[in-house]
Chain A
Amino acid sequence: MRKTYRIEVDCANCANKMEEAAKRTEGVKDASVNFMTLKMSVEFEDDADVKTVMEQVRKACKIVEDDCEIYLS
């Protein structure tokens, strides 16, 4: 399953870091951040619970880039 989230981040490199962080999160099959459209698109593993996984993704992103936000709704 693939879902797209609106994000906020200031620099392109930080967007790359968020992508890396999201990719490393458990339950995420693949993730991609587009700095230009400010969107994060996440592909989940089949048995993943989207809500908890995304909370983990958000946490992981906050660690690599303090000044970022993912809008989960």
Chain B
Amino acid sequence: MNHKQKRMLGRILVAAIGMILLQFVKLEDFAQWAAYMIPYLIIGYDILKKAVKGILNRQIFDENFLMAIATVGAILLGDYKESVAVMLFYQIGELFQSYAVGKSRRNISALMDIRPDYANMECNGEIKMVDPQDVPIGSIIIVKPGEKVAIDGIVIEGETTLNTSALTGESLPREVRVNDEIMSGCINLNGLIKVKTTKEFSESTVSKILDLVENASSKKSRSENFISKFARYYTPAVCYSALVLALLPPFAAIILGMDPMWEEWISRALTFLVISCPCALVISIPLTFFAGIGGASKAGVLVKGSNYLETLAQTRYVVFDKTGTMTKGEFALSGIHHAVIPEEELLAYAAYAEANSTHPISKSIQEAYGKVIDGKRIKAVEEISGQGVIAQIDDTKVMAGNGRLMKTHHIPYQECSGIGTSVHIALNNQYAGHLLIADQIKESAKAAIQELKKIGIKKTVMLSGDREHVAKAVGKTLGIDVLYSELLPKDKVEKVEELLASKDAKAKVAFVGDGINDAPVLSRADVGIAMGVLGSDAAIEAADVVLMDDDPLKIAKAIRIAKKCIRIVYENIYFAIGVKVLCLLLGAVGIANMWLAIFADVGVMVIAVLNAIRALSVQRC
């Protein structure tokens, strides 16, 4: 609790005790009035002050005005106890609300507390603690155990495990060693590492994420806009209705020659005013969205505005890009075929032959082999551009390359029927089999599609610039409904536009992509989802939602989080308006008294706020 809240708590306690004591004292007329005025003013002086100031500034019709009129009216009618109670409970409600909001505000900012305060920069052999903003590209920074990585870079010395959960929501620590790229915002868990920075601080992951989150504020959802509009008309409407309620029936009664019952009608009108306070709605709706965005970022899903949560919840069509989104966008060994010697040996020969090449395909062979290359065994290497390599390993002549290499040396070879690039190997001019290198489908991609089906996505579509047979194979493995291949970037926009035109307006289209060429599609779709790690800056910029760990399973998770959030928003809207309207009706016919009015005001608000905070927990989404 902050200072302001503590003072309020003090006032509430004093006023409450004062009121309880007054129950045991019998006082008459003026003495009673004066006695009740003490707790009333202690608890309500600021409300009265604000109400007067509001009137002077021509800003009537706010909660302060409602409360002031209701309680002053009650005092004039002689209902001292009720008037103190209304103020008291109103302030308790306000205190609770400010405490709850403050707490969730802190919780959520703690989630986003990924900003590093300093970087240890190596400078002429000395290590200096500097502001991350002052570290130029290409500097060497040292990250000790327990520290945050301040700037994106490449590890040049040491190895360690990193906790990436603040960025990705992934609780499994990540191992890094020399030559691995690391993102700022990760926490170094055990080893000391030296990192060569590849970006400036302002361009680093941390700064980008903080930027996104801070700017998320400017995009409000339809529900939020509805509520602020609602509040603008609602309060004056209720005030006038209260006035009508206080005046019309008595006047009607006078005309009809009956007892006007002024007190009764005015008291009903005052009850009306207390019930009507719109706080429950005004506070709980933005709070729900805020908690939803916070919860999503805890799960590694950055949502750039509450309006996108709304759209995500209505998503019925999901369109994917292939490379980098559903596949890893990196080559890896996917099979060894027609091997005449044990596969392990064939792979070893290939790895030795390609040991000195930096081609991505050679690298993937090295990775698949995974053992240290003994340089002494490589006697000679000749690289034939566009074909492959011929190397002398021990006393074996190894040829590794594409079909052209085999053809030039008149070695009969087996064409590969698989998807990807094949590396044919011949040992001493005898064909020995081939390795198939392919872009790997992400482990969770298939499960991601199934999850989407489970949560009610009508259609999944994959758009790919790749050749038809490759795209088809991937689409089939994943269980994608519709597939378009060999597309240029502008074709992708066209396909999404076709889909946008053909579906009904309420079902939204999400596009998931990562490349620069996906940026136009990301902004064209109802909601654009970008991959945060592999994703190009342009894609992340254009997207509305960013998946921090590139895991396609998170798409379904994001949609579920959004649905939960929106469900809570509607629960709160219906609950709060429902209870209020009911109580207003009861109040108008004289069934609801001041105590029920207090519940309708403060009780509903407390329940709505507690409900809103539920949006923060997303583990089971």
With known contacts A11-B282, A36-B287, A16–B231 Cβ distance under 8 A: yes
Interface assignment of A66: CB less than 8 Å from any CB of chain B? yes
A66 B282 Cβ-Cβ under 8 A: no
Q: Which residue of A lies closest to B225 (CB)?
A: A16
With known contacts A12-B283, A16-B231, A32–B220 Cβ distance under 8 A: yes
Interface assignment of B218: CB less than 8 Å from any CB of chain A? yes
Q: Which range holds the interface residue count of chain B? A: 20 to 34
CB-CB under 8 A from B104, the residues of chain A are: 36
**Shortest Cβ distance from residue B195 to the other chain A in the assembled complex, whole angstroms:** 30
User: What's the Cα separation between A35 and B53 when bound, in Å?
Assistant: 22
A63 B279 Cβ-Cβ under 8 A: no
Partner of A41, one of B217, B278, B282: B217
User: What's the Cα separation between A57 and B208 when bound, in Å?
Assistant: 29
Interface assignment of B139: CB less than 8 Å from any CB of chain A? no
B105 A36 Cβ-Cβ under 8 A: yes
With known contacts A11-B282, A36-B286, A63–B217 Cβ distance under 8 A: no
A2, A4, A34 interface centre (most CB from chain B within 10 Å): A34
Interface assignment of A64: CB less than 8 Å from any CB of chain B? yes
B59 A10 Cβ-Cβ under 8 A: no
With known contacts A12-B282, A13-B282, A34–B59 Cβ distance under 8 A: no
B62 A63 Cβ-Cβ under 8 A: no
B220 A36 Cβ-Cβ under 8 A: no
User: What's the Cα separation between A41 and B213 when bound, in Å?
Assistant: 13
User: What's the Cα separation between A54 and B54 when bound, in Å?
Assistant: 22
Q: Which chain B residues in 171-223 approach chain A with CB under 8 Å?
A: 214-215, 217-220
B283 A11 Cβ-Cβ under 8 A: yes
Interface assignment of B428: CB less than 8 Å from any CB of chain A? no
With known contacts A11-B279, A64-B59, A36–B50 Cβ distance under 8 A: no
Interface assignment of B57: CB less than 8 Å from any CB of chain A? yes
CB-CB under 8 A from B354, the residues of chain A are: none
Interface assignment of B450: CB less than 8 Å from any CB of chain A? no
Q: Which residue of B lies closest to A41 (CB)?
A: B218
User: What's the Cα separation between A2 and B217 when bound, in Å?
Assistant: 13
Partner of B217, one of A13, A14, A34, A64: A34
CB-CB under 8 A from B219, the residues of chain A are: 32
**Shortest Cβ distance from residue B99 to the other chain A in the assembled complex, whole angstroms:** 12
Interface assignment of B63: CB less than 8 Å from any CB of chain A? yes
Q: Which chain B residues in 296-329 approach chain A with CB under 8 Å?
A: none
B59 A63 Cβ-Cβ under 8 A: yes
A32 B282 Cβ-Cβ under 8 A: no
B214 A16 Cβ-Cβ under 8 A: no
B54, B94, B218, B283 interface centre (most CB from chain A within 10 Å): B218
Interface assignment of B98: CB less than 8 Å from any CB of chain A? yes
B63, B94, B97, B228 interface centre (most CB from chain A within 10 Å): B228
B214 A66 Cβ-Cβ under 8 A: no
Interface assignment of A39: CB less than 8 Å from any CB of chain B? yes
Q: How many residues of A contact B (CB 8 A)?
A: 25
CB-CB under 8 A from A41, the residues of chain B are: 215, 217-218
Q: Which chain B residues in 32-56 approach chain A with CB under 8 Å?
A: 50, 53-54
User: What's the Cα separation between A41 and B305 when bound, in Å?
Assistant: 13
A35 B57 Cβ-Cβ under 8 A: no
CB-CB under 8 A from A63, the residues of chain B are: 57, 59
B59, B98, B217, B220 interface centre (most CB from chain A within 10 Å): B217
User: What's the Cα separation between A19 and B278 when bound, in Å?
Assistant: 18
CB-CB under 8 A from A2, the residues of chain B are: 218
User: What's the Cα separation between A15 and B59 when bound, in Å?
Assistant: 14
**Shortest Cβ distance from residue A14 to the other chain B in the assembled complex, whole angstroms:** 8
Q: Which residue of B lies closest to A62 (CB)?
A: B57
**Shortest Cβ distance from residue A33 to the other chain B in the assembled complex, whole angstroms:** 8
User: What's the Cα separation between A14 and B54 when bound, in Å?
Assistant: 12
CB-CB under 8 A from A33, the residues of chain B are: 217
CB-CB under 8 A from B282, the residues of chain A are: 11-13, 16
Partner of B286, one of A4, A12, A65: A12
Per-residue CB contact flags for chain A residues 57-71 toward chain B (1 = under 8 Å, else 0) read 000000111110000
Interface assignment of B290: CB less than 8 Å from any CB of chain A? yes
Interface assignment of B101: CB less than 8 Å from any CB of chain A? yes
Can you show 16 pairs from A to B with CB atoms below 8 A apart? A2-B218, A4-B214, A10-B98, A11-B63, A11-B283, A12-B287, A13-B62, A13-B279, A16-B282, A17-B62, A32-B218, A32-B220, A39-B214, A41-B215, A63-B57, A64-B57
Q: Which 10 pairs between the two chains have the least Cβ-Cβ distance?
A: A34-B217, A36-B290, A16-B228, A13-B282, A32-B218, A12-B283, A12-B282, A41-B218, A63-B57, A66-B53
> Which B residues contact A (CB, under 8 angstroms)?
50, 53-54, 57, 59, 62-63, 94, 97-98, 101, 104-105, 108, 214-215, 217-220, 228, 231-232, 278-279, 282-283, 286-287, 289-290
Known: A12-B287, A34-B217, A41-B215. 12 other contacts (CB 8 A): A13-B283, A32-B218, A35-B101, A36-B101, A36-B104, A36-B287, A37-B105, A37-B217, A38-B105, A39-B217, A41-B218, A63-B59
